[in-house]
Structure 1
Amino acid sequence: MENRVKHLRKVLNLSQKDFGDVLGLRPNTISSIETGKNTLTEQNIKMICGAFQINENWLRNGTGEMYRKPPEIDELTRVVNEIVKSEDVFAKRFLIAYWNLSKENRTVISDFIDKLANNK
C-alpha cells in the first residue's frame, strides 16, 4: 500500500508536506508511510480516499481504477449500456439527435425534461 501512496502523491504532483497538509499529517509521517515504517490507519485510508476521490480497493489492494467514478457517471454508463442493448429505436435516435443539437437547443430540451420530471 505504501507504494500506492507514493505513486498517488507523485501523480498529484504534491510534495510530502503538501500531501500531508491536505490530510492533516506531518511530512515525516508521510515519509514513514511511503517507506513502510508506518502503516496507514483506517482513518488515513478514509481521508486519502475522500480528499483525492481515490478508489479504496485500489489504495488497499491495487485493484480497480485509481480514481472513483462519481455516482452520476456510473448511472449514466448503466443507462447508456441498457439503451444500446435494447431494441428501443426511439431512445437511440433521441440520444443521437440531442447530442447533435446546438448548445442553446440542448438547454431548451434540458429545461423541458426538468419540467416533466418535476411533474411526475
Structure 2
Amino acid sequence: MNERLSILRKTLDLSQEEMGIKLGVKKSTISRLERGLNNFTEQMIKLINNEFLVNEHWLRTGEGEMFNTKYDNESSENILLKVLENQELIIKDINFIKHKLSKLEEDIFQLENS
C-alpha cells in the first residue's frame, strides 16, 4: 500500500505536507507510510478513501481503478448522508486553503520587503 499511497499523492499533485494537512496528520506520517515504516490503520485507509474518493480495493491490492467512479446500489439518501458525514473533511479542506493563503501572504510580504 505504501507505493500506492505515493502514486495517489503524485496523481493528485500533492506534497507530503499537503496530503498530511488534508488527512489531519503530519508530513512525517505520510513519509513513513510511503516508505513502509508505518503500517496503515483501518482508520487511515477509510480516511484516505473518503478524502480522495479512492477505490479501497485498489489501495489495498493495486487491482482495479484508482478512484471510485460511482456508488453502487446506493440511494440518493445514503449519498446525502455520506456528504453530511464528511462535513469535517470539508472543514479540513477550508483550513488547508487558509494555510496555503497564509503561506502565500508570507511569501509576498517577504518578496516585497527584500
Q: TM-score range by the shorter chain?
A: 0.5 to 0.7
- Residue-pair matches, total: 73
Q: Which amino acid aligns with 1:23?
A: L
Q: Percent identity?
A: 48
Higher relative CO (Cα under 8 Å, sequence separation at least 6) belongs to 2
Pairing of 1:1-120 with structure 2 (within 5 A)? 1-71=1-71
Query: Which has more radius of gyration?
Result: 1
- Unmatched runs of 5 consecutive residues or more in structure 2: 74-114
Q: Which amino acid aligns with 2:55?
A: N
Post-superposition CA distance 1:59-113 (Å, at most 9, x none): 0001110000122xx67xxxxxxxxxxxxxxxxxxxxxxxxxxxxxxxxxxxxxx
Q: TM-score, normalised by structure 2?
A: 0.62
Q: TM-score, normalised by structure 1?
A: 0.59
Post-superposition CA distance 1:19-39 (Å, at most 9, x none): 010100100000000000001
CA distance in 2 between partners of 1:66 and 1:16 (Å): 19
Find runs of 4+ consecutive structure 1 residues off by over 6 angstroms.
none
SS at match of 1:25: coil
